[in-house]
Structure 1
Amino acid sequence: MRLSELTTVAEMLAQIETMKHLYPKMTLEKYEFHLKEMVPHNYKQVAVFDGEVCVGLSGFWTAVKLWTGKYIEIDNFIVHSDYRSKGIGKMMTDYIDTKAKAEGCNAVVLDAFTGNFIAHRFYYNQGFEPRGFHFVKMLNEEGLT
């Protein structure tokens, strides 16, 4: 297994099939549109490859908030179903933890859907704990992927 940090829109677009495991309706055009907005705002991805096949992918952002100071936020964490429970997710969270410490971050944060209990167990095992609720007020359901 090989881990790689993706920093360009082109590198990220090449992994659209992995992203479709999370968002099956994602189109290349929509993915490119969003990435062109996100990458200039510190968005990067970490990918794990088995040969040339991407089997794990997670986005992450570095930012600052008043309550945490500098932090990294994990976004869209995906491990291909055929590769789960093989250490791929841990490789990615370990990479992000190391990066966060090297960049002087005070926290690593993420959102997980309330019903995704498998993800909750994984994140607990990686040292994450819930500190609050992420409330959402949807203004345009049609805009979702």
Structure 2
Amino acid sequence: MQIKELATVEQILEEFETIQFLYPNMTVEKYKSFLEDMIPKSYKQVAVFENDKCVGLTGFWFGTKLWTGKYIEIDNFIVHPDYRKKGIGKLISSYIDQKATELNCTCIVLDAFTGNFPAHKFYYNLGYVPRGFHFIKTIDENGFS
């Protein structure tokens, strides 16, 4: 297994097929436009490859908030269905942990949908705990992926 950090629109677009496991209706055009907005705001991805095939990835952001100081936020954690339960998620998580340490972060944060119980179990097993609720107010439902 090989781990790579993806930082450009071109690098990230090469793994578009993987993002479609989570967002099957995502178009390349929409994804590219999102990336062009996100990358200048510190967005990157870390991906795991087996024989040049992307078998898992997550996006992440680096920032500072008043309540945490420096932090990393995990965004869209995806493991190819054929590679689940094979340690790919732990490899990605370990990479993010190391990155957070290198950047002197106080914590790593993420959102998991309330009904995604397998994800909750995975994150609990990695030492994550719920700290609050992430509230949203929908302005345009058609804009969701």
Query: Smaller-chain TM-score range?
Result: over 0.9
SS at match of 2:73: strand
Identity across matched positions, percent? 61
> Per-residue CA shift, 1:51-88, capped at 9, x if unaligned?
11101010000000000000000000000111011000
Letter of the structure 1 residue corresponding to residue 79 of structure 2: V
Q: What is the RMSD computed on CA atoms of the aligned residues?
A: 0.5
Separation in structure 2 between the aligned mates of residue 11 and residue 62 of structure 1, nearest angstrom:
19
Letter in 1 for 2:3: L
Q: Which residue of 2 aligns with 1:92?
A: 92
Please name the residue that 1:73 is paired with.
73
Q: CA deviation at 1:45?
A: 0.2
- Offset from partner CA, 1:11-61 (integer Å, 9 cap, x none): 000000000000000111000000000000000000001111101010000
**TM-score normalised according to structure 1 size:** 0.99
Question: How many pairs are equivalent?
Answer: 145
Find the aligned partners of 1:125 and 1:79 in 2 and give their Cα distance. Answer: 16
Unmatched 5+ stretches in structure 1 = none
Whole-Å Cα distance in 1 between the matches of residues 137 and 103 of structure 2?
32
Where does structure 1 differ by over 6 angstroms across 4 or more consecutive aligned residues?
A: none
SS in 1 for 2:11: helix
Which residue in the other structure is 2:143 paired with? 143
Q: Which runs of 5 or more residues in structure 2 are unaligned?
A: none
